[in-house]
Amino acid sequence: MAMRITPSVLNADLSNLSGEIARIPSADGVHLDVMDNHFVPNMTFGLPVVESIRQRTEAFLDIHLMIANADRWAPAYAEAGAESITFHVEASDAPIRTAREIRAQGARASMALKPATPIEPYADMLGELDMVLLMTVEPGFGGQKVLDLVLPKIRRTRELVKTTGQDIWLQVDGGVSLETIERCAEAGADTFVAGSAVYSAGDPDQMVRDLRERAVEACRH
């Protein structure tokens, strides 16, 4: 199973995003947290900034929409050229339709769940998705610690993904570091969002490589 590291720029220099993205060439993608101060108590940037980033980098753009009314806005981010669009099921009235609209734009469709949201009610729609994102912290701010209570949900989600027979990525977001990535990988995650751990490191790209190696080692065990 391939291990992917998609660093979040939330803890990077937001005034120089293209430069910050250039510091992590070994990353498998760049995780962009879009927040609206409604779905989560924080605000970052929106569609115009993502469009600008798309013009300045060829990196795989992994958009995480932490916004209200996700059904309306998610397809626009795919149309802007991002390769992966994640919407929160808690902010969606029509998740299957939204996933299909994202895919129709040529992007990967992903559904995110907060720590307390169970995966089981959505088991039947996994085939409509290319990735499931499980929040390992309450969304809204970087620098939080992993909530270990999410680890059993990662395991259950991995088992549900297996039953589909499809290549659906399982991403975790929140508190991922050299100290925590092994637990998440052992539980079944294969795609990891790391913000503080990467951009607080002296060499962010080396940290990306170290995180990937740690995840791979965990799976070997």
Short-list 172, 158, 46, CA closest to 113: 172
Report CA torsion sign: 53, 54, 59, 64. positive
Helix (H, G, I), strand (E, B) or coil at 186: helix
Tally of structural domains, the chain: 1
What pLDDT is attached to residue 140? 62
Helix (H, G, I), strand (E, B) or coil at 14: helix
What pLDDT is attached to residue 221? 66
Which CATH number does the domain housing residue 125 bear? 3.20.20.70
What pLDDT is attached to residue 143? 62
Short-list 189, 125, 112, CA closest to 152: 189
- Listing DSSP states for 54-103 in one string gives HHH--SPEEEEEE-SSHHHHHHHHHHTT-SEEEEEGGG-S-HHHHHHHHH
What pLDDT is attached to residue 8? 96
What pLDDT is attached to residue 144? 66
Place of tokens 């998610």: 74
Active site (annotated) includes residue 36: no
Helix (H, G, I), strand (E, B) or coil at 24: coil
Per-residue pLDDT of the chain (221 residues; tens, 9 = 90+): 899 999 999 989 999 999 999 999 999 999 999 999 999 988 899 999 999 999 999 999 999 999 999 999 999 999 999 999 999 999 999 999 999 999 999 999 999 999 999 999 999 999 999 999 999 988 766 666 777 889 999 999 999 999 999 999 999 999 999 999 999 999 999 999 999 999 999 999 999 999 999 999 998 86
Q: Which domain holds residue 49?
A: 4-220
What pLDDT is attached to residue 147? 73
Q: Distance between CA atoms of 163 and 44, rounded to whole angstroms?
A: 37
Choosing from 28, 36, 130, 173, the catalytic residue is 173
Q: Distance between CA atoms of 158 and 170, rounded to whole angstroms?
A: 7
Active site (annotated) includes residue 33: yes
What pLDDT is attached to residue 219? 86
Choosing from 28, 33, 36, 130, the catalytic residue is 33
Query: How many H helices and E strands in the chain?
Result: 8, 8
